[in-house]
Each structure stands twice: as structure tokens, then as C-alpha cells.
Homo-oligomer: A and B are copies of this chain.
């Protein structure tokens, strides 16, 4: 079961599809193996970048069961939904199938501090004993949670064990939460998102790792290791080699298609298909990705 000590790299997994848009179950297996091989200490499935919204309820269950059956690391399942009944239904299925915990983002309509904390009290009551991750992603949800609100959620809901941090900018938020903990607040795990664009700084501010889906999880695993070992300059050197592609993959709207292209190129999944409605990658975009990967590989070789 997921708890406050979780650390490392929980990769946000994609959902693989066949060229016709059907679930590609074989690629689920190869993808899980790929992520684990590249250093993932956990996987998060059915997140926004897992195209959760594009799956039917039945398909979601298929993905959950297949991933859990293959994985040897803990699995977190995204269960965000417009209503509590759908959250409970998927969470129950996931936990029965062997998930380590679930993740919930706030619905877009929430505005005031009281609305937000009230919503998560309802969520926590709905989930019962299931450990859950608070997803803080204002760029997409439009919901802004101050450190004070996050701390209140952690205090009121002991089964909330982790913050998926992707406020942007959010470095000060990590520092504020860690300061509050030093003064007695309950400590939770903080794993960071945003495509790893700020991972070195996030680790130095006190994060426990990454929860994001950049197509080279080995970079994230190594940054976590190096910063943990105090080798900050080595971490930055490595990060800078990957940064041009990290940046390119972080483009809203297009980023997932770029990520799936790269994962298919690396053999993690069989097809780069993104489910409709989705943008197709133009030849120009593919050429840009290839140029960035070639430069990245060249710089990695030059290092050794």
C-alpha cells in the first residue's frame, strides 16, 4: 500500500493503442517492462496523459488489471471523475485488483479554500481506507491550492499520503510545505510532475522524486539518485543534456503525441497512436524530435 515514505520515480504511464484506436494490450506488457527496466519505482496509470478521459469504464478496468498483473512495482490509479460514485467505483476495482493507491484531481469548478477542502473531505470519506494522492495541477484544472490549503487537506485526511506536485511555478510551494513539516505538520511524500522541467531544483527543495511521464525515465531516476547523493553538479550536467527534449515534449496539446512517438521509437510500445480527437505529428515535428534525440544521444556518448 502506498504511504508517506514513497520516493523515486513513479512514471506516468501512457495507454497504448493499436493504429485503429483499440487498446493494445500486448504493448501494456512491454511498456511496463520498459518502465521498470529504466528505473521506475512505481507507475501511475489512467492519469491525464494516460488518456483516461478517452477510455470507456470497461477499458479502464482492463488497463488497471493488465498493468497490475505485469508490474512488480506499486501502481497508482488515477480515478478523477465528475462525481463521487464514479470515483468510488473505479477506486474499488483498482484496489481489489491490487493497486497501491489512487490519485484524485479537483474538479475545475472549485474556487474558494472551503470548497476545495470540503471536496477532498468528501473524496476521502468516499475512498475509505484507500491511500490517495492529491493532484495539484492548476495549469489544467484551473484550481489553485495554496500551501495552507494543501496542509489542511493533509491534516484532515490521514489517508492522503502524497502530493503530486505540478503547480507551476511551484518551487516555493515545496519549500513552504517542508518548512511547515519541520514545524510539526504531518509529512507526506511529494513527487513532482510538469514533465520534469524543474526536477533538479525540485529535489533540492525537498521533493521525494518525480511523477511524470518524460519518455526517458532513466534520466529522472538518475537525477533522483544523484541529488540524493549530494552530487548536484553531476545531476545538473545530466539534466541539461535532456532538457531540450524535456522542453519539446512539454508542449501542451502536442506533448503526448511526441512522447508516444519517442516511446514507440524506443520499443516501449508498438504504435505511437493517440486516440481521437488528437493532433497528428507533422513531418516537421518528427524531424525536430529526431534532431533533438540525435543531439541528446551524441552528448550522452561524449560524456563517457
Given contacts A243-B244, A284-B171, A295-B236, contact A86 B56 (CB under 8 A): yes
Residues of B within 8 A of A55 (CB): 83, 85-86
Given contacts A56-B88, A83-B55, A175-B284, contact A112 B252 (CB under 8 A): no
Bound together, the chains give a CA A145 to CA B115 distance in angstroms of 11
What DSSP secondary structure best describes chain A's contact surface?
helix
Interface centre among A146, A169, A252 (most CB of B within 10 A): A169
Instruction: Provide the A189-233 mask, 1 if CB < 8 A to any CB of B, else 0.
Output: 000000001100100110000000000000000000000000000
Instruction: Provide the A46-59 mask, 1 if CB < 8 A to any CB of B, else 0.
Output: 00000101111111
Chain A residues within 8 Å of chain B by Cβ, number: 64
**B168 engages A277 (CB within 8 Å):** no
Chain B residue with the shortest CB-CB distance to A201: B288
**B240 engages A244 (CB within 8 Å):** yes
Residues of B within 8 A of A53 (CB): 81-83, 86
Residues of B within 8 A of A85 (CB): 54-56, 59, 275
* CB interface residues, A 164-178, toward B, < 8 Å: 168-169, 171-172, 175
A binding-site residues for B, Cβ under 8 Å: 51, 53-59, 81-86, 88-89, 108, 111-115, 118-119, 122, 138, 143-146, 148-149, 168-169, 171-172, 175, 197-198, 201, 204-205, 236, 239-240, 243-244, 247-248, 251-255, 275-277, 279, 282, 284-285, 288, 291, 295
